[in-house]
Structure 1
Amino acid sequence: MSAVQRPLAITLGDPAGIGGEIIAKAFRDAPQLTQGCFVVGDLAHMRRASAVLAAPGELALPVALIDAPDDVQRIPPRCIPLLQVGTPATGCVAWGQVDAAAGRIAADAVSWAARAALRGEIAGLVTAPLHKEALAAAGVSFPGHTELLQAEAARHRGVAVADMPVRMMLANDELRTVLVSIHVALRAAIDAVTRQQVLQTLRITHAALQAMLGRAPRIAVAGLNPHAGEGGLFGREEIEAIVPAIQDARAEGIDADGPHPPDTIFMRARAGHGQPGGFDVVVAMYHDQGLIPVKYLGVEHGVNVTLGLPLVRTSPDHGTAFDIAGTGRADAASLLQAIRTARELAR
């Protein structure tokens, strides 16, 4: 099979959240897009999620067990193929509540799919949202998808985790942003703004976007401090770390520009009204600095892409939405966009 023909795995995410519902909606409403996809998770929870969407008197979209990724080819239309990982649940966790059992189901699904992708058995994985508290309750030592996938890739390559650097990119039709640090406390994120960390982020961003766009990307770099430090008046991180990293990157042929004031650079980079933005991507210094602008533009269209991994991984740009889990109200648009993006990257 070629890379294009290989199946695409969709991990269930936290079964107490909306992951199963948006997966069921994707298979129901976009059969052509989901053809060749299968779910990795737990049968009982996926069937419960599918049943939530059924109208009174209507049969739920059936969920069929498969034993291996290639079995997806034999599953008929309007049926959700699922590969069971871990011990099948005898009962379902409560909707909308942190539960260690839910965290374990979510983690097992991601680990299985990552290993399958690294072995070349699947084209990539699309991860439905998980809950970080549930992961921790399950004894998982990683705070989220990105770190878990990084560890699996490092183990597969036989290298230390530090030698498998990854970055999070959040993207929609208007804006892309890549983060220097991810799920760490703000104080630790400030400490992570070093010359080497920023340069590594620029290298990963350049390589990934060049592959996606087919040309060298125009990279804007946000400052850390208000007004990008105002020449050292509001902090010296720009002078001591960010500017030297940009100079190093430019010496390597990377089109990096900045540091720019973080309160305006996202507007300059934003595309709209059929016109491209001033930059292809913004490198942000920490999690919320980069994610708030993209999510403000609409989480229903955003996609999370992990850069730097030897596999394709995308995810919807939203969380588990415990407040509406089990109601059937969850919007599958971001998941559908994540599937489209994964297919494009897997070509």
Structure 2
Amino acid sequence: MGVGMAAGLRTARWCVEQGWPVHPLARGRKTPVANCEACRVPGHSRRRCPCLTGGRWCHGFHAATLDRARVDQWWGRRPGMGVGVGVACGHAGLVVIDIDAHARPLPPRDQLLPGIPIPEQVDLTGLANGFHTLGLLAALSGAASPADDDTTLRVRTPSGGLHVWYRAHRSQRWQCSTGSGGGRSLAWQVDVRAHGGYIVAPGTATAAGAYTPVGPVREPAPLPAWLAGELERTSHLPAVPAPRWVPPRARQAVLAAGRASHGTHQSLSTVLAPVARCGHVPEGAGFSDALNRAAYTIGGLVAAGRVSRDEAEPALRDVAFAARPGQERRTEQIIRSGMAAGLERPLHARRRCP
């Protein structure tokens, strides 16, 4: 067994000891080992594939295992196997924040922090990568950036980025914002690795360089509450299926919006309308995004003195609870986060609400 093979096996065994299912990566790369010929046939179905039940490594993180004998076979006995180790994040109960530092032009302002509009008067000079956008997102919540979190496992990537590992509660099925992520985004040049994806294990070496732990900590800390709230706000946690009987909930939402419009400025009912409309369908409809935008806008209106917080915030809560009953905890987190950001950005009469 070569030195590189031994290193890969040691890393894989260490990951298994942590309870993290592993799968092999291609030699010198950060991508999974290629499927066998049978699995590359057009129309092949992973769900019925005998490779997964037969102990083979086809289909990437779907083949990840905690079986020590299989790990020894994959990394220790098969010539030509790659030495890299991938960890299936979802089954490991991990949420990994993948921060990039690529030299790329800035996107439009509304894509820097999805769901949080950045006014034109805010100077973006110096903002250049994911370290900056994640730091900005953390600052809006009054928290330190995960990039600076020395209480958890952090891994420097060959490209100059950083993987920040957190431990999630097993009952929460956090979703990726890359690969099969379905268009989710936490911040520009910041990806989330969770269910539906994998992460390169620390100690893995590729042709581009090694994935090197930063500092002495080797265990993921619990996912911070503020970051969990931001992940929920940006749809990284699937909505809990709501009851299928829709009309009563829809009527409740519309009535709540109507009551609010009588007690506050007319613009408030306009802000609440998109949230109320989500009550017409049992799930989806972009509820998290609609609620976040409404909370941010109401925060801005309150900061500008255009509406009363004592009236506007309960009205928003009533509409949101009616539109998505049974999701009160998640709804409260989105409202708190959105309003906190909006209170920092007063919306005066001549400004257009986002």
TM-score bin, normalised by smaller chain: under 0.3
User: Which of the pair has more CA radius of gyration?
Assistant: 2
Greater RCO (Cα-Cα under 8 Å, separation 6 or more): 1
Higher fraction of strand: 1
TM-score by length of structure 1 reads: 0.26
